[in-house]
């Protein structure tokens, strides 16, 4: 199976609309609280969306933690001591400039405006003020300022605050990293573009602690490694690029930063940020907590605050990218075939088991094939509707292979494998099915 690099989309400007509808109809993404009218910039993930997200998470974890000797995991809490966010600079500085349209009173992020109000076309706005993006709540029953806490806007701070505990318990020496995945919350002023900018989302971040002086080298290493990871998920190379932040763009903590960008239908946008955070965070937390967070190098007998290289990605944004990148339409016998050309490693379902019809005679062999394959691949057994409609559904949700059980199967103990991309069909003995499919997966994954 070779995945065609070129994608054909009849109306590219309508791609997002098409995907929104596909995602809901097929069970990838639903608006949150939909029966109550929804809630802005918050979404739920249906059965296929969960599967896709799970695959993204576990491929990242495998690459970043399990396959490495120098990175360990952490799961820190979403609500942390408020001092954490004072030390990190978020209380004072995690803000975006907010303006209000003088005509319709809608509020916008000033740096996202192009001169006129996107809602009513008016050109007059209020003075901008800095709006803090952190969600606030209270810890315990008393709602006063001493009890105020924040929902974390990034997972990173958990890893800085637990740096010493991880170091002492894991016996890692520098250079080493701490990886974490979990929910983050940002009260974005102008969310939008479907799931691109959410108010509740999920991040996968890794803080790699290095000796000062080796930081430039490690930044180079991680920016290439992260770009390669997206390529390994099948994202088309011509749609990906690395972009260096200009001096005006750099966050207050960063010495240098790159974005992995994808060419979305609405332009090149950040998919992942890779930053040299220097020793900013450990230094701040040492000062604010009064605890020494420095590192003692046993070999050189030096004590220093490590520098940190951080690749930070969004799971939802990665999922969105994979769906956009995979979407394809083609003419087949006068009809439009919609295909999500997911790489086999991320496809929510890898093999569909499809009895030709609901006829009871096919049931035992079909179930036997299902049981045979389930331990090896992500399977769906589907016997409703005509076989043509079931193929179309599985093309549309990106299932790389379908295995069809027909009446000949009862005699010859063989089934048909249909490939999603080429639509080619081959007959394979049931006894040979697992190795045959494994081989096809290897070939399709380029491994």
Positions 238 through 277 that interact with ligand ATP (CB under 6 A): 270-273
- CB 69 to ligand ATP: min, Å: 26
Instruction: Find the DSSP H helices in 329-386.
Output: 363-373
Kindly state whether residue 316 participates in binding ligand ATP, applying the rule CB under 6 A: yes
CA angle, 327 then 332 then 338, to 5°: 20
Give the integer Cα–Cα distance in Å for 255 and 15: 37
Kindly state whether residue 394 participates in binding ligand ATP, applying the rule CB under 6 A: no
Kindly state whether residue 82 participates in binding ligand ATP, applying the rule CB under 6 A: no
Phi, psi of 31 (to 5 degrees): -65, 140
- CB 152 to ligand ATP: min, Å: 12
Residue with smallest beta-carbon separation from ligand ATP = 314
Using H for helix, E for strand and C for coil, what is the string for 200-224?
EEEEEEEEEEECCCCHHHHHHHHHH
According to CB under 6 A, which one of 53, 152, 239, 317 is a site residue for ligand ATP?
A: 317
> How do beta strands 200-210 and 95-100 pair?
unpaired
According to CB under 6 A, which one of 27, 95, 107, 188 is a site residue for ligand ATP?
A: 188
Tell me the number of residues near ligand ATP by CB under 6 A.
16
Give the integer Cα–Cα distance in Å for 259 and 274: 6
Length of the chain: 447
- Per-residue binding string, ligand ATP, 201-230, x by CB under 6 A, is x-x---------------------------
Q: Would you say 312 or 437 has its CB closer to ligand ATP?
A: 312
Kindly state whether residue 198 participates in binding ligand ATP, applying the rule CB under 6 A: yes
Q: Would you say 15 or 312 has its CB closer to ligand ATP?
A: 312
- CB 203 to ligand ATP: min, Å: 5
Q: Would you say 94 or 391 has its CB closer to ligand ATP?
A: 94
In contact, 315 and 397? CB cutoff 8 Å = no
Give the integer Cα–Cα distance in Å for 356 and 266: 42
Instruction: Find the DSSP H helices in 27-162.
Output: 47-61, 82-88, 90-93, 156-161
Q: Residue numbers of the site for ligand ATP (CB under 6 A)?
A: 154, 186, 188, 197-198, 201, 203, 270-273, 312-314, 316-317
């Amino acid at each position: 199976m070779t995945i065609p690099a070129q994608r054909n989309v009849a109306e590219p400007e309508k791609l997002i609309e098409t995907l929104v509808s596909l995602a809901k109809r097929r069970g990838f993404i639903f608006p949150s609280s939909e029966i109550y009218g929804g809630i802005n910039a918050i979404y739920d993930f249906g059965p296929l969306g969960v599967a896709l997200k799970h695959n993204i998470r576990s491929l990242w974890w495998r690459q970043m933690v399990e396959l490495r000797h120098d990175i360990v995991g952490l799961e820190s809490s979403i609500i942390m001591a408020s001092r954490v966010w004072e030390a990190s600079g978020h209380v004072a500085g995690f803000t975006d400039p907010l303006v209000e349209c003088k005509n319709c009173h809608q509020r916008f992020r000033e740096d996202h405006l192009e001169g006129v109000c996107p809602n009513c076309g008016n050109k007059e706005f209020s003075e901008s003020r800095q709006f803090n993006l952190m969600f606030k709540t209270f810890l315990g029953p008393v709602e006063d300022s001493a009890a105020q806490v924040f929902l974390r806007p990034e997972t990173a701070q958990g890893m800085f605050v637990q740096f010493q505990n991880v170091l002492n318990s894991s016996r890692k020496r520098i250079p080493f990293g701490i990886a974490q995945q979990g929910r983050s919350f940002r009260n974005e002023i102008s969310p939008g573009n479907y799931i691109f900018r959410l108010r509740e989302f999920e991040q996968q971040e890794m803080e790699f602690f290095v000796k000062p002086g080796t930081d430039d080298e490690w930044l180079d290493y991680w920016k290439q490694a992260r770009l390669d990871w997206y390529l390994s998920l099948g994202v088309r190379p011509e749609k990906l690029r690395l972009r260096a932040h200009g001096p005006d763009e750099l966050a207050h903590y960063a010495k240098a930063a790159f974005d992995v960008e994808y060419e979305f239908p609405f332009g090149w946008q950040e998919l992942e940020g890779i930053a040299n955070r220097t020793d900013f965070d450990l230094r701040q937390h040492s000062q604010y907590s009064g605890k020494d967070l420095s590192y003692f190098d046993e070999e050189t007998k030096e004590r220093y605050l490590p520098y940190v290289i951080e690749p930070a990605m969004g799971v939802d944004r990665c999922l969105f990218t994979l769906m956009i990148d995979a979407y394809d339409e083609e003419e087949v016998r006068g009809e439009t075939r919609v295909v999500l050309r997911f790489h086999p490693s991320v496809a929510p379902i890898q093999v569909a088991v499809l009895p030709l019809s609901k006829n009871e005679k096919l049931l035992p062999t079909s179930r036997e094939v299902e049981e045979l394959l389930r331990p090896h691949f992500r399977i769906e057994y589907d016997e409703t509707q005509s076989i043509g409609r079931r193929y179309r559904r599985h093309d549309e949700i990106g299932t790389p292979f379908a295995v069809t059980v027909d009446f000949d199967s009862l005699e010859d103990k063989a089934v048909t494998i249909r490939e999603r991309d080429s639509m080619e069909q081959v007959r394979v003995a049931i006894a040979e099915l697992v190795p045959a499919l494994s081989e096809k997966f290897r070939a399709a994954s380029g491994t």
